[in-house]
């Protein structure tokens, strides 16, 4: 086989093949035990099982059968001869690519419905240099994070370790610069299809968010969702547009749209201002989708599909409230009646979901499946509170949900404990895990012990999830708590002193600096609002 053929064969082995194993085992080219609904091999190795979805295409012939890879495969560097005509410039690039395939990709896209996106990224490396360099850059970042975080597991001296970490970081920056250069050329030539543009947005978001450039990461969320909305306009007369995410899965798959929908949910908590595109993408499916929910879910995959739909519908209602249901809106107006009806229907959907989910919880397996089940419970709990309180202008309404807030903190800790790991705990992923739920607890729960437990957990477990940074969130919540607790009465924050929310400037987030602002009543006897501000760093 020629040197180019060897590299192309290596790339093809990460693409789906016409085999009967689960999606994850096909990607990793290992023997699947084909147990249902979750492959036991995936559970044992602590990786997400992508299930047994039908796959309709291949990338050439399957390579010869190989021995199963271990859970933490040793990366085999190619010989210099095999690199001569390969997509990779040197052995180091190839090493970072292998690391992404074996570990980084699973950390960044951890949920069950992201397997197709992982496959598309790896396939694109075969012909798209921008995506290839971006994936190599993320592998280099992952190697940097491994050296920086696992001090006790490293045999290097501090000086040697810092030098190695710096070298990996510099490699990541160089690879990212190459990726951006290719992206700019492709954009100017206008030769990218929609799927490739969305994958590019995700890779840029991943790199910028992982390195702390949160304001630029937010821009990528807007860019991706704008592309999706412009594309979906072509199918505006499609009768099924409210029952599925992608009107044309052969162009852009459902799970890629799903990722951007989850990013839109994150953004709805990150900022008060919601663009029309962000608001619209949350309401794509409408009530017809949740009405199709079965009485009992067959497995956690099916439960996850309806969980995502309910969360989007709830956040769509909450963002509609923020944009259109201000204090001046009459309670007998058409939009208010719509909001009340939506609230009742979604609350009913949550109860139906919990009932249908119970059998799945009773048989959930340890590992990634249990982690995902805990995360669903966490999100549904905090979502139900937000749904039940959003039409009330009285912040004291949250007090009766203190037991639920306490359970949210418990579930957040359980989710972190069950986080699937391979070599070391990951501190970055696209999806919300614990930051947004704990953010809501820290902002809306005024029971001191529960509130402090949530804030302290964010600060003591530094991580980034999509466009959120846990330390930033913890610092903002600390200030909000201090502002409210200036006026404690018998150990409780009085209703008049409570904040509806906190805003911040996004221009300096990359420098880990932000100016916070909130409005607070002057006193119990004076309804005038005063502006409170503070500059924080983290």
pLDDT over threshold 90, residue 112: no
What percent of the chain is modeled with pLDDT above 70?
Answer: 75
pLDDT over threshold 50, residue 69: no
More confident residue, 14 or 89: 89
> Which of the four pLDDT bands, split at 50, 70 and 90, describes residue 195?
very high
Tens-place pLDDT, residues 258-283: 889 888 888 888 865 566 777 777 77
Q: Residue 349: its pLDDT value, please?
A: 93
Tens-place pLDDT, residues 201-244: 999 999 999 988 888 888 899 999 999 988 988 887 765 555 56
More confident residue, 280 or 103: 103
Q: Which of 60-69, 141-150, 313-322, 513-522 comes out lowest in average pLDDT?
A: 60-69
Q: Residue 420: its pLDDT value, please?
A: 61
Q: Residue 18: its pLDDT value, please?
A: 37
* CA nearest neighbour of 102 among 63, 135, 145: 135
Q: What is the arithmetic mean of pLDDT over 7-24?
A: 46
Residues belonging to the chain: 538
Q: Residue 52: its pLDDT value, please?
A: 58
End-to-end CA distance of the chain: 53
Cα separation, 195 vs 197, in Å, equals: 5
Can you state the angle between helices 334-362 and 368-389, rounded to 10 degrees? 150
Tokens at residue 417, please?
């404990």
> Which of the four pLDDT bands, split at 50, 70 and 90, describes residue 360?
very high
Cα separation, 292 vs 340, in Å, equals: 21
Q: Residue 49: its pLDDT value, please?
A: 66
Q: Residue 424: its pLDDT value, please?
A: 59
Ranked by mean pLDDT, the top range of 93-97, 243-247, 326-330, 422-426 is: 93-97
Q: What is the arithmetic mean of pLDDT over 371-394?
A: 92
Cα separation, 11 vs 21, in Å, equals: 19
More confident residue, 318 or 349: 349
More confident residue, 283 or 515: 515
pLDDT over threshold 90, residue 534: yes
Calculated CA dihedral for residues 80, 84, 88, 91, nearest 10 degrees:
10
pTM of the entire structure?
0.76
Q: What is the arithmetic mean of pLDDT over 482-500?
A: 95
> Residue 264, Cα to own-chain centre: how many angstroms?
10
- Residue pair 396/389 in contact (Cβ under 8 Å)? The answer is no
Q: What is the arithmetic mean of pLDDT over 356-379?
A: 91
Q: What residues pair up with 465 in beta bridges, in sequence order?
A: 429, 468
Q: Residue 66: its pLDDT value, please?
A: 34
> Which of the four pLDDT bands, split at 50, 70 and 90, describes residue 2?
very low
pLDDT over threshold 90, residue 356: yes
Tokens at residue 98, please?
């292998």
Q: What is the arithmetic mean of pLDDT over 192-197?
A: 91
> Which of the four pLDDT bands, split at 50, 70 and 90, describes residue 11?
very low
Q: What is the mean pLDDT of the chain?
A: 80
pLDDT over threshold 50, residue 6: no
Calculated CA dihedral for residues 16, 19, 22, 26, nearest 10 degrees:
-40
Q: What is the arithmetic mean of pLDDT over 91-120?
A: 84
> Which of the four pLDDT bands, split at 50, 70 and 90, describes residue 67?
very low
Cα separation, 146 vs 144, in Å, equals: 5
Cβ burial 381-393 (10 Å sphere, 16+ → b, else e):
bbbbbbbbbbbee
> Which of the four pLDDT bands, split at 50, 70 and 90, describes residue 381?
very high
Q: What is the arithmetic mean of pLDDT over 502-510?
A: 81
Show me where the domains of the chain are located: 3-192
């Amino acid at each position: 086989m020629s040197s180019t053929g060897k590299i192309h064969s290596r790339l093809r082995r990460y693409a789906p093949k016409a085999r009967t194993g689960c999606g994850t085992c096909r990607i990793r080219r290992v023997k699947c035990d084909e147990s249902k609904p979750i492959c036991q091999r995936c559970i044992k190795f602590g990786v997400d099982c992508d299930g047994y979805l039908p796959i309709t295409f291949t990338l050439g012939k399957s390579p010869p059968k190989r021995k199963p890879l271990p859970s933490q495969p040793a990366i085999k560097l190619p010989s210099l001869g095999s690199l001569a005509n390969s997509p990779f410039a040197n052995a180091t690039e190839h090493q970072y690519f292998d690391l992404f395939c074996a570990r980084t990709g699973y950390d960044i896209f951890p949920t069950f419905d992201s397997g197709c996106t992982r496959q598309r990224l790896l396939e694109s490396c075969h012909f798209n240099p921008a995506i290839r360099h971006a994936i190599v850059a993320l592998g280099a970042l992952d190697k940097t994070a491994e050296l920086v975080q696992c001090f006790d597991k490293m045999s290097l001296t501090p000086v040697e370790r810092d030098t190695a970490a710096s070298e990996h970081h510099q490699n990541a920056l160089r690879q990212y610069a190459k990726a951006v250069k290719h992206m700019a050329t492709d954009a100017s030539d206008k030769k990218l299809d929609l799927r490739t543009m969305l994958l590019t947005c995700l890779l840029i978001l991943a790199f910028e968010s992982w390195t702390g450039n949160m304001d630029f990461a937010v821009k990528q969320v807007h860019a991706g969702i704008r592309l999706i909305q412009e594309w979906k306009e072509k199918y505006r007369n499609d009768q099924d547009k409210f029952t599925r995410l992608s009107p044309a899965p052969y162009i852009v798959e459902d799970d890629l749209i799903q990722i951007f929908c989850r990013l839109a949910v994150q953004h709805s908590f990150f900022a008060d201002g919601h663009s029309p595109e962000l608001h619209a993408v949350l309401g794509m499916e409408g009530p017809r989708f949740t009405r199709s929910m079965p009485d009992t879910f067959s497995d956690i995959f099916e439960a996850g599909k309806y969980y995502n739909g309910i969360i989007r519908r709830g956040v769509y209602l909450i963002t509609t409230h923020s944009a259109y249901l201000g204090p001046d809106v009459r309670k007998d107006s058409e939009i208010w009646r719509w909001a009340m009806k939506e609230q009742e229907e979604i609350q009913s959907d949550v109860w139906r979901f919990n009932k249908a989910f119970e059998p799945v919880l009773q048989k959930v397996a340890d590992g990634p499946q249990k982690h995902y089940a805990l995360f669903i419970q966490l999100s549904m709990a905090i979502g139900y509170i937000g749904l039940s309180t959003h039409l009330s202008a009285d912040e004291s309404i949250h007090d009766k949900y203190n037991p639920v807030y306490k359970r949210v903190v418990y579930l957040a800790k359980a989710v972190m404990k069950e986080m699937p790991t391979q070599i070391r705990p990951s501190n970055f992923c696209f999806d919300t895990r614990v930051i947004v739920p704990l953010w809501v607890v820290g902002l809306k729960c005024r029971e001191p012990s529960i509130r402090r437990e949530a804030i302290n957990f964010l600060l003591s477990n530094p991580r980034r999830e999509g466009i959120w940074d846990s330390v930033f969130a913890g610092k903002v919540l600390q200030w909000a708590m201090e502002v409210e607790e200036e006026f404690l009465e018998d150990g409780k924050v009085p209703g008049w002193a409570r904040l509806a929310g906190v805003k911040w400037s996004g221009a300096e987030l990359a420098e880990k600096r932000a100016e916070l602002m909130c409005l607070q009543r002057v006193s119990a006897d004076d309804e005038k609002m005063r502006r409170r501000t503070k500059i924080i760093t983290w």
